[in-house]
């Protein structure tokens, strides 16, 4: 198996990180890989805030968790069952923001490609990642106590919106990658 296929087959959502910090060099490597993703018309409609400040990560996590408690009982229960830490002790949080492109495909589609590039690049250098949709809750202007403040603190350019979070760290827990379900693939020859 070549290296790309090996990374794709081995990636999994890591839900337990050690306390070891992620180096700036590694974060630069994986975010660079992210920005090498394709995007519609080459728009590259993304902005990445790479957060390693413990206090700030904690504030984003706590705001997101508060929204979860109030608005998503099932999601809250799932996180409690996983140990209660929404960010699994991740030492870095990459906040992916996008601007609307008014293209045939939404900017979030492009952000998804960038996100998977980051996850695969991270996996290939021994880091764990977990895409974190719950992190978006923290940035919600009405629901989250500090929603607007985080976008300002992370210096989102005008018109950019929180799209998804990526937790990054050194894995303390691993799991088997989910099995590929190839039954959804049809060939027309
Ligand atoms: C858009 C998106 C949002 C996700 N949000 C979360 C999340 O908030 N918390 C979490 O633990 N996992 C989250 N995941 C991870 C999925 O649960 C996971 O990818 C899926 O169960 C398949 O498992 P695998 O990634 O280990 O193959 C998210 C995945 C995606 C693609």
Q: Is the CB of 133 under 6 A from ligand 1?
A: yes
In this prediction, residue 35 carries a pLDDT of 98
How is 115-183 classified by DSSP, letter by letter?
HHHHHHHHHHTT-EEEEEGGGGGGG-TTTSTTHHHHHHHTTPPTT-EEEEEEEEE-BSS--PPPPP-GG
Residue 96's H or E segment, with its range, is strand 92-98
**Residue whose CA is closest, atom 28 of ligand 1?**
131
Radius of gyration, CA atoms only, the chain: 17
Domain at 18-173, CATH from 3.40.109.10, 3.40.50.300, 1.10.10.10, 3.40.50.2300: 3.40.109.10
In this prediction, residue 145 carries a pLDDT of 82
Q: Quick one: how far is CA 76 from the chain centroid?
A: 18
Q: Is the CB of 134 under 6 A from ligand 1?
A: yes
Q: Is the CB of 178 under 6 A from ligand 1?
A: yes
**Residue whose CA is closest, atom 15 of ligand 1?**
131
**Residue whose CA is closest, atom 10 of ligand 1?**
132
What are the domain boundaries of the chain? 18-173
Q: Is the CB of 150 under 6 A from ligand 1?
A: no
In this prediction, residue 147 carries a pLDDT of 82
Report mean pLDDT in 10-residue bins for the chain, 189 residues: 96 97 98 98 98 98 95 95 97 98 95 98 98 97 87 97 98 96 98
Which atom in ligand 1 lies closest to the alpha carbon of residue 79?
11
In this prediction, residue 146 carries a pLDDT of 85
pTM of the model: 0.97
In this prediction, residue 1 carries a pLDDT of 86
C-alpha count within 13 angstroms, C-beta hemisphere, residue 100 = 2
- Distance from the CA of 15 to the center of ligand 1, in angstroms? 10
C-alpha count within 13 angstroms, C-beta hemisphere, residue 121 = 20
Q: Is the CB of 15 under 6 A from ligand 1?
A: yes
DSSP category for residue 184: G
- Distance from the CA of 189 to the center of ligand 1, in angstroms? 34
Which atom in ligand 1 lies closest to the alpha carbon of residue 78?
11
CA dihedral for 146, 152, 158, 162, sign (positive or negative): negative
């Amino acid at each position: 198996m070549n290296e790309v296929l090996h990374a794709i087959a081995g990636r999994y959502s890591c839900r337990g990180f050690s306390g070891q910090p992620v180096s700036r060099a590694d974060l630069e490597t994986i975010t660079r890989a992210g920005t090498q993703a394709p995007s519609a018309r080459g728009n590259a409609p993304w902005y990445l805030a790479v957060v390693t400040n413990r206090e700030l990560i904690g504030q984003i996590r706590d705001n997101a968790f508060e929204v979860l408690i109030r608005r998503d009982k099932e999601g809250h229960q799932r996180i409690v069952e996983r140990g209660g830490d929404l960010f699994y002790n991740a030492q870095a949080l990459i906040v992916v923001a996008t601007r609307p492109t008014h293209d045939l495909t939404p900017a979030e589609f492009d952000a998804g490609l960038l996100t998977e590039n980051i996850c695969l690049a991270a996996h290939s250098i021994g880091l764990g990642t977990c895409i974190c949709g719950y992190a978006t809750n923290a940035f919600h202007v009405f629901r989250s106590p500090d929603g607007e403040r985080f976008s300002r603190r992370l210096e989102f350019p005008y018109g950019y919106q929180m799209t998804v979070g990526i937790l990054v760290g050194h894995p303390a827990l691993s799991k088997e990658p989910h099995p590929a379900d190839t039954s959804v693939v049809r060939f027309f020859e």
